[in-house]
Structure 1
Amino acid sequence: MESDTTGGVDGRLGRRAYLAAVGGSAVGLSGCLVRGADGRGLDGRIVVDGSNTLLPHGAAVAEEFQWRNNRVRIPVRGSGTGAGFQRFCSGNTDVQNASRAILDDEEAICGSNGIDFLELEAALDGIAVWAHPDNHWCDTLTVEELNRLWRSGSDVDTWGDLREEWADEPFGDEEIDLYGRDSASGTFDYFTQAINGEYGNIRSDYAGSADTNVIVRGVRGNRHALGFGGAGYYYENEDDLRLVAVDDGNGGVRPTRETIESGEYTPLSRPMYVYFDATQLTRPEFRAYAEFFFEPIDGDADESVVDPGETLTWTQWAARKVGYYAIPDETVEESRERLSDALARVGVDE
């Protein structure tokens, strides 16, 4: 899936348009004649791929950058974290969006191809667990129950198997249909590690998909179902899904902006990353794009996601704009320092 981030009807894309780009079957968003300004005389093409989950965030940042630098083209694809790393580590893309950190074998491929990457946190997300709205009795699941349900070799088939008293609830004695991300996804990797203790540990009879919108449709169309995916997708479909609280010894917490940005929602809160090919930082347009993530927003930004007294950077702003969550200010400062160090490594003066 690709988002052509050149602009919408008025040169800006709304929150739903960004999320629609994730769910498109081919090219998500078409361009428009309205292109913004040529602010710094930059020119070039920057290719972005990676996480399907992080695609709306990457599209938002790219679109705002292009609005201010209209001779730079930034196609943004969401082929999945794993598939994206294959392309990035082979030198076929410039920027990699990732919903998990790079793995050792991926890092080795980057090294063998001379890719000196720069890893920076871009946004926060929560992996939500949701059920069909007719399921009024599954309000909270403990981490232990999630583990019993999702782990490889699970013997949980019905809701009554999961919790004895649920056998007497409507359809509680019927088989649970499970939906989640497939193994190419960083969301899959994070969920299986956080819940089942290791990457890839999951039962074989669930319906896996590369597209979270497919998971949403599966759960909302099946009252026996339970699924997981990025929390932002729940908030785009609140009328069609029931959000389940996760009890990590804290009585049960649902993923919200407050619980994720504060770190209260555990263990399914996670950082999401942007990886830059540091060897490309000598290109003026590429350096400007990397720096743009951590620059304060300007007066043209939609301030509806900015709290009074806050000064957000573009990566923080984009995270909230498309339904994710802002990284802390201290993380922004750390990222600026790491970017500065990377520029020095390739001999670029700031």
Structure 2
Amino acid sequence: MPNEPKAGRADGVSRRRVLLGTAGGALSGLAGCITRGKDSGLEGEIRMDGSNTVLPHGAVVSEEFQWRNNQVEIPVRGSGTGAGFQRFCGGETHAQNASRPILEEEQERCDRNGIEYVELETALDGIAVFANPANDWCESLTVDELARIWESGSDVETWNDVRNGWPDEEIELYGRDPASGTFDYFTEEITGEIGNIRSDYAASADTNVIVRGVRGDRHALGFGGAGYYYENEDDLKLLGVDDGDGSVKPELATIERGEYQPLTRPLYTYFRVDALARTEFRRFAQFYFEEIDGEATEADIVRPGEELTWTQWAARRVGYYAIPDEVRETSETKLADAIAEVQG
């Protein structure tokens, strides 16, 4: 768990517990309420929306930027990847957090409205599969078993339908709703097609609701961002996923080394190219890829000898995972090219 906030810092989003607990809507601590910090001379408003999953990462980067530029206001919302793209492609927001790439129909909406964007990978996440802690029969599931459980038209009703010898008790299923990028990624990777999922599961836009559902039923099974599991690990049981090479659980090492498959996924931030002409917005986008300073050296986030950028540091800070350096370099180059384009 990250260290306590430093004295003198705005603490509205300084700990993962606060961030994940408020991920369903706006983070009031980031709605222009940074009342201390440094006046760099930059000012303006940057509107960010999108993924409920990616919200904590964007919120921490925004908080750190606002601390150094306290006349810039960055309200951050987490209305969901799909809902966020509706606003982003309609020109209502400047930055979009996404837990999956933009879809073709969303690209077309952006094109119709003249919204040009740059897509950057900024963090990694693992989608966790978890059960009730009283579940003493299941330690892991294969990808094939997960597909049989979750696919549309599934005939799996009980745990015994999954494996002989497991309880002949109905599985209560909890997962993200179709507006979620987590839903899109999970269904595509597990059942082979976005939206291919049974209709009789309890769907929610808020992973905290899923956590509560699984926590309250011994025979429940759910999926959601791994950060939510680690925030509630006393109330949930983390299951391994076996893609044919053995059971692996989503942990920092297995995700950052690419071993947790197929449920390790990139997380994205989209920036409007036209907004990069504004100095405060351009500096904010570049801040993602600047090296962290001396105020961000928590031992549980930064390993000896590591040189992290703010996007990598923020990912670990909120319970997600740092993109590899080669991915960071690619994203930084894409951003630099977009800036050069808008500056002529």
Match of 1:169 in 2: none
Distance 1:119 1:329 in 2: 17
Contact 1:49–1:93, Cα closer than 8 Å, also in 2: yes
Q: CA deviation at 1:82?
A: 0.3
Q: CA deviation at 1:23?
A: 4.9
* Unaligned runs of at least 5 residues, structure 2: 1-5
Q: How does 1:164-313 map to 2 (within 5 A)?
A: 164-166=164-166, 172-304=167-299, 305-313=301-309
CA offset digits 1:55-87 (Å, max 9, x no partner): 100100000000000000000000000000000
Match of 2:92 in 1: 92
Distance 1:326 1:142 in 2: 26
Matched AA of 2:247:
G
Matched AA of 1:235:
Y
**Aligned match for 1:345, one of 314, 337, 341:** 341
Distance 2:282 2:170 in 1: 53
Cα gap change, 1:8/1:108 in structure 2, threshold over 3 Å: closer, same or farther? farther
Matched AA of 1:99:
S
Partner SS for 1:76? coil
TM-score (norm 2): 0.94
Pair 1:119-2:119 in alignment: yes
Q: How does 1:126-145 map to 2 (within 5 A)?
A: 126-145=126-145
* Unaligned runs of at least 5 residues, structure 1: 1-6, 167-171
Partner SS for 1:65? helix
Q: CA deviation at 1:11?
A: 1.6
**Aligned match for 2:319, one of 320, 323, 338:** 323
Partner SS for 1:136? coil
Distance 1:165 1:34 in 2: 59
Distance 1:16 1:29 in 2: 14
Contact 1:209–1:215, Cα closer than 8 Å, also in 2: yes
Contact 1:21–1:28, Cα closer than 8 Å, also in 2: no
Q: CA deviation at 1:28?
A: 5.0
Which range moves more in the overlay, 89-98 or 301-310?
301-310
TM-score (norm 1): 0.93
Partner SS for 2:76? strand
Partner SS for 1:52? coil
> Across the two proteins, how many residue pairs are aligned to each other?
335
Match of 1:3 in 2: none
Q: CA deviation at 1:303?
A: 2.4
Q: Percent identity?
A: 66
Which portions of structure 1, spanning 4 or more consecutive aligned residues, are displaced by more than 3 angstroms? 7-10, 26-34
Cα gap change, 1:75/1:302 in structure 2, threshold over 3 Å: closer, same or farther? farther
